Amino acid sequence: MKKIAFLWEDLAWTTEWRKGIKYINLPTWEKMAQDAGIKVVYSKAVKPRGTLYIPILQEIADKKADLIFFLSSWFTDTDAFAKQWSDSAAKNIYVSLYGGVAQTRAFWSMTGGKALGIMSSFFDLDVPITSKTLPLMEKAVKRNIPMQLHVHIAYADIYHFKAAIEKAGGTDDVGKLIKAMEDVETEYSLGKMKYQTQKIKPIYHSRMRVDPSNPWKTYPGYFYQLLVQFQEGGKIAYLNESCPENVKAMSKFINPKAVKTPAQLRKIQYGK
């Protein structure tokens, strides 16, 4: 991939990604892409609801992008985007969605199969990332709960609080409770949960995920984020290297053998 097109959900949470944070020398995503040797050929903030994507997709096609990376969330109408993309001049360009309903199997039916070829972070899992993954997923399926990222974390928080209360011996001593919250580590459906206690100003710290003194260094085991592609018939193809056979042994983020172009998938699905 040599050329990328960015679409940003035009809400506050993408501001720092688009503009960077000067006082901590955090560059924009466009700058980081360029530093990695990727040419940014298009970048546009779009409304979270009601956007007409066809003209935008035509512009992206004219720029000959290799990938459209859409910084989306649960407020973005990515189902409408998928339907318009599949019939647009950009239909042969790879698409990767950051978040929202594309994190679930329901996305396929929501788009009427127009999601064919789209890639996304994915949390509606049937692979045992930890010992907690499949038991939680089985309960969710029985209750028809779509498992997006925030659902996994919500249940993780509840059990983490429970473990902290048990370690503190109850809730009467607030000091003990705070210390327990700082010390306790639990396992959840996507990895390990622990609060970051190392403080490096002015960065805000929450759950452990990366080294705060070197944000490019990920702590292994604390959060597994899997990438998938919606393939023929709604098949979920896991793209991470060595996944799902051995999630913890992932050595590369993308397994090229698992990825198919949108054009290849349309030929498989429709014979043309």
pLDDT of residue 253: 55
Residue carrying the six token digits 């042969």: 92
pLDDT of residue 6: 97
pLDDT of residue 243: 46
Cα separation, 58 vs 55, whole angstroms: 5
Contacts of 263 (CB under 8 A, 6+ apart): 92
Cα separation, 224 vs 188, whole angstroms: 11
- Which of 34, 30, 33, 5 shows the shortest CA–CA distance to 17? 30
User: Which domains, ranges and CATH numbers included, belong to the chain?
Assistant: 3-124+225-270 (3.40.50.2300), 133-218 (no CATH)
Cα separation, 186 vs 132, whole angstroms: 11
pLDDT of residue 202: 67
Per-position pLDDT tens, the chain of length 272: 799 999 999 999 999 889 988 877 778 999 989 988 999 999 999 998 888 999 999 999 999 999 999 999 888 899 999 999 999 999 999 999 998 899 999 999 999 999 999 999 999 998 888 899 999 999 999 999 889 998 999 999 999 999 999 999 999 999 999 999 999 999 999 999 999 988 877 666 788 988 877 777 888 888 888 899 999 999 999 987 544 444 444 444 567 788 999 999 999 998 87
Task: Collapse the DSSP code of 143 into the 3-class scheme (helix H, G, I; strand E, B; otherwise coil) and give the result.
Answer: coil
Cα separation, 199 vs 212, whole angstroms: 8
DSSP 29: H
